[in-house]
Structure 1
Amino acid sequence: MRRLALLAWPLAFASTLACTPPPSGDAGDDAADDTTGDTSAETGDTGEALRPNWHQDIAPLVYGNCVNCHAEGSIAPFSMESYEQAAPWAAAVVDATEEGTMPPWGAINTDECQPAWNWRHDLRLSDEDKQLLVDWLAAGTPEGDPAEAAALPEPTSLDLANPSITLKNPAPFTVGGTKDSFVCMVMDPGHSEELWIDGVQVIPDNAEVVHHVLTYVDTAGVTDDMVDENGMFPCPGGVFFETGVAQMSTWVPGGLPTETPPGVAFRLPVGGKIVLAYHYHPTGNGDEVDQSSVALRWSTQEPDLPGYGIAYGAAFNSSGVEPSPDDVEGEPLFYIPANASGHVETYTLEIPAFVPPISVFAIGTHMHYVGVDMKISVLRGGEEFCVVQTPKWDFNWQRVYDIDLPLDQLPTLQGGDIVKLTCTYDNTLDNPLLAEALAEQGLDQPVPVYVGEQSLEEMCVALVNLATDIPIELFF
């Protein structure tokens, strides 16, 4: 039986610019019906342009937060690069930003979780920006005068500085049909000495179908017997948990390169392979082909602190899972009954007493389609401290969240700490992601769900990035 791998990876940044989803239903006419203002009469009683308007107020906001995804040829289903493209979607944009589903950022402060730090590259809009969108919609989405247009933000560079090598996927992959595809690609950098990677950049070839990508280092030849003749193998769920395989980064459209903090890097041993786990989303307009690449920046100099990470929780069995009110005699501890809503599974991990304080760079949550909320907290000295909560969990926008503090001020895990994972599931048809997953399997009703890696199985897993000069395998 496989156990959840102990992974070794550095800070896995998932930095993106914001994306906005389409409204439900047909995109064009229905969306346009919500913006019925007369944009030809765009001056008030004083003759001045109505505010807010596109050119003076909204375009800078959209270009600063949306167009890296919402552009022609990118992964988003519609473009927002011009007034004509954006205005019909104003109501949908307001709804999505008010609900917090866009920009796609899951780490949200709640009454039960208020971490004592900010997140690096936080995608959430400010309350002022949200109100600006509301006011624009209420005013009838005025365009304003192009002659008075505000300067647009300079586009953020998505290129990794000074890459050492760029590796292309070993073979093209065809994305078609109506179902998402999850596939891993394995590449050999061909290096002859131990290297330390401090920068990673995924370079999408076909941005219309590349939904997100996870990057790994295979340090132990795990994938040697898994790949086919094209250097690929299926990655159910879009993740790859195996002993000897270490995650480096998470990329989504518009994502910035992964760059570790100064003095921190992760090890690429001689013979190590690079693994990219792809989530492809079909366009619905026929077959599309992708052969993306990854750029790496490395050094032969050993860093001050190696980056490590652990992936722990319920992934392949019920070990460590606490009893639940919904437990059924004869069933494993991790069991979600069909049609159960608000079902909670709890997993705990005690840090051995002899472990010295180790810094936490970043933390992420991982579940599948039945999951709706996950919280990670630390119990210490009779108190519980919440580290992160993703109360609107969305499998399609999972990521690792980077703590925005200098190295010497980062939170630590200490000997005697108990790390607690609280995962909430909705195994009913009210859960839209579950309904979609059931339909893909030819089912129209929920089924009992157990722990595992398939789409209709579940996990409750924390991804934690650490830095320490003591090998983590000694105490985890």
Structure 2
Amino acid sequence: MCAMEAGKTVGLGFRIGTAWLLAALVALVMPFGLSAAPAGVPAEVTFTRDIAPIVQRSCENCHRPGGVAPMSLATYEEARPWARAMKTRTSIGPKAGVMPPWYVEKNIGIQKFHNDPSLSDDEIATIAKWADSGAPRGNPADMPPPKQYIDNAAWAIGAPDLIVKMQEIEVKATAPDWWGEVPSVPTGLTEDRYVAALEIKEVNDVDSHAGSGRATVGGRFVFHHMIWRTQVLDGKSDQEQDPLAIFNDEEAVNWPVHEVGRNADFFDPKSARLLKAGSSVVSDSVHLHSNGRDTRAHLEIGFKLMPKGYVPTYKRAIFGLGNGVDIDIKAMEANQQLHAYTVLQQHTKIISFEPHLHAPGARMCLEAIWGYTIQTLNCVGYDHNWVRGYDYTDESAPLLPKGTILHIVGFMDNSPSNKNIPDPRNWQGSGNRSVANMFIDLGIRLALTDDQFQEEMAKRREKLHLTKNDVVIGCPLCLVTPVPAPAKASGGQQQ
């Protein structure tokens, strides 16, 4: 648990005793039987005034005509039949099935992220009240202008500067899981450029309104994941390439793993990744998982480029955090825990937290241990149909000194209540199949020099107006004022 002091807290830590005491005091002073509505919920809720703005901000990217969701919610006529479902799916908390698919637990840890579509408690209560009140339309004049989309495959990163289309693959309805290599595809880039943001989409021939596919992980999609890199092949075939090149940034550049339902990546402005002229997209680790239909599909990779002349100043930190073959999950049991640790060998800035579990995965927490201080950076639910990467804002990204212990805790559900498990009577270990197990944090991190680490903490102190009485989740040394270097003696004087 976090060591807490008087003053403001940047982020939330485990304070179970305090929370219990406050709840007890509230229970004592509230009249028995009184149920107060959230302060931000209107007395009368209508679609045009109250619901449509929420839908446009947090739902329409998928739930619109031609979107990937099975139904559109863009108009009253489209949303009205789904009012009860909207109430149910938005109110189940940060776990599998919630909509929008964002699983950060809001009562603990850092709460500032880029591109957070989640709903506030007031917004969830507003949707519930609208559904319970008969889902009224309201005044048509209150309806916000419809959102405009460039096309039916809108990109979260904006219009890409470069799109690379991978080769189409057919996956039969009854096909087993498949892992292997796919043909490389040239990027067509004629000059070296750095990448600011990246997004990968699966494009397939499954009708988005034909249901969600097989009742298993992935829904209507067939690409479970793709581990990939870009590399200048120099006329060699994929088989002739040096297999060790993937470990050398001079030879190949590794990119975030594509997973089912994964959101876009926005790289730190100081550490954009290099996309070399004449490079190709190369993958020798694609995992295909049937969706229960004969499906033809391919991946499209969208790159948003930095301005010409950009040069990165920070380097990536490359280390693993997770378990390999030592996963042990009992049959017919929920809420089982897995643990993994690593010690930071460099000062580190964590750009994103990305839990990777498989079908039994229900939740993951990330902790930072520095001396006697244990801080829970985040706990998030997990849905293997919607793999999320959580990108911290610059002022909230954890700044951790060399020697910090990073600890992840995975919560696994191998019980009948987990619909992704084919047969919970089976013991489960590690494995590549969607219905087996992995336990990894795939987040992006930066390695900082001593000077960069001090500069980042100084910027954090100034940005957040921190005082010695504040607590900063994820920055254990932010409030430690550096000792000035001793002044150099003037020339000619003996010491």
From 320, 340, 343, the counterpart of 1:350: 343
Q: Matched residues in 2 for 1:223 and 1:358: separation?
A: 37
- 1:384 is displaced (CA, Å) by 0.7
- 1:420 is displaced (CA, Å) by 0.8
**What secondary structure, in the 3-state scheme, does the structure 2 residue paired with 1:129 have?**
helix
- 1:145 is displaced (CA, Å) by 3.9
Q: Matched residues in 2 for 1:214 and 1:302: separation?
A: 28
| 2:165 corresponds to | 168
- 1:379 is displaced (CA, Å) by 0.5
| 2:120 corresponds to | 126
1:191-216 C-alpha deviation (Å, 9 max, x unpaired) = 56654222324455448355887674
1:439-461 C-alpha deviation (Å, 9 max, x unpaired) = xxxxx452111123223431221
- 1:347 is displaced (CA, Å) by 1.1
1:380-431 C-alpha deviation (Å, 9 max, x unpaired) = 01111112211x321111211111124xx64223221111111121222222
Q: Matched residues in 1 for 2:240 and 2:76: separation?
A: 49
Q: Does 1:104 align with 2:101?
A: yes
Q: Does 1:379 align with 2:373?
A: no
Q: Matched residues in 2 for 1:339 and 1:120: separation?
A: 38
**What secondary structure, in the 3-state scheme, does the structure 2 residue paired with 1:464 have?**
coil
- 1:251 is displaced (CA, Å) by 7.9
From 278, 297, 300, the counterpart of 1:293: 300
Aligned CA distance change for structure 1 residues 181 and 169 (closer, same or farther; 3 Å): farther
| 1:364 corresponds to | 354
**What secondary structure, in the 3-state scheme, does the structure 2 residue paired with 1:62 have?**
helix
| 2:55 corresponds to | 62
**What secondary structure, in the 3-state scheme, does the structure 1 residue paired with 2:406 have?**
strand
Matching of residues 173-188 of structure 1 within 5 Å: 173-174=169-170, 177=173, 186-188=184-186
| 2:312 corresponds to | 304
Q: Matched residues in 2 for 1:302 and 1:63: separation?
A: 35
Matching of residues 6-17 of structure 1 within 5 Å: none
Q: Which runs of 5+ in 2 are unaligned?
A: 1-42, 209-219, 450-495
Q: Matched residues in 2 for 1:335 and 1:61: separation?
A: 42
1:131-178 C-alpha deviation (Å, 9 max, x unpaired) = 2111211211112343x23223644774556754322222x2345637
Q: Matched residues in 1 for 2:240 and 2:356: separation?
A: 24
Report the more deviating stretch, 84-93 or 263-272.
263-272
Q: Matched residues in 2 for 1:223 and 1:135: separation?
A: 61
**What secondary structure, in the 3-state scheme, does the structure 2 residue paired with 1:57 have?**
helix
Q: Matched residues in 2 for 1:105 and 1:362: separation?
A: 14
Amino acid at match of 1:350: V
Q: Matched residues in 2 for 1:133 and 1:251: separation?
A: 30
Q: Matched residues in 2 for 1:216 and 1:306: separation?
A: 22
- 1:179 is displaced (CA, Å) by 8.0
The answer to whether the Cα contact below 8 Å between 1:449 and 1:456 also exists between their aligned partners in 2 is: no
Q: Matched residues in 1 for 2:176 and 2:128: separation?
A: 34
1:281-302 C-alpha deviation (Å, 9 max, x unpaired) = 9887x64543453232446746
Aligned CA distance change for structure 1 residues 294 and 341 (closer, same or farther; 3 Å): closer
Aligned CA distance change for structure 1 residues 81 and 308 (closer, same or farther; 3 Å): same
Q: What TM-score, normalized by structure 2, do the two folds share?
A: 0.64
- 1:368 is displaced (CA, Å) by 0.7
| 2:137 corresponds to | 143
Aligned CA distance change for structure 1 residues 71 and 181 (closer, same or farther; 3 Å): farther
Matching of residues 17-36 of structure 1 within 5 Å: none
From 76, 79, 92, the counterpart of 1:83: 76
The answer to whether the Cα contact below 8 Å between 1:351 and 1:417 also exists between their aligned partners in 2 is: yes
Q: Which has the higher contact order (CA 8 A, sep 6+)?
A: 1
Aligned CA distance change for structure 1 residues 216 and 86 (closer, same or farther; 3 Å): same
Report the more deviating stretch, 213-222 or 187-196.
213-222
Q: Which runs of 5+ in 1 are unaligned?
A: 1-49, 228-241, 319-333, 439-443, 471-476
From 445, 450, 472, the counterpart of 1:466: 445
> What percentage of residue pairs aligned between the two structures are identical?
22
Amino acid at match of 1:260: F
From 247, 265, 268, the counterpart of 2:275: 268
Q: Matched residues in 2 for 1:78 and 1:204: separation?
A: 19
Aligned CA distance change for structure 1 residues 310 and 60 (closer, same or farther; 3 Å): same
| 2:390 corresponds to | 401
Amino acid at match of 2:91: E
Q: What TM-score, normalized by structure 1, do the two folds share?
A: 0.66
Larger radius of gyration: 2
Q: Matched residues in 1 for 2:336 and 2:319: separation?
A: 23
Q: Matched residues in 2 for 1:450 and 1:226: separation?
A: 34
Amino acid at match of 2:405: I
Q: Matched residues in 2 for 1:85 and 1:338: separation?
A: 42
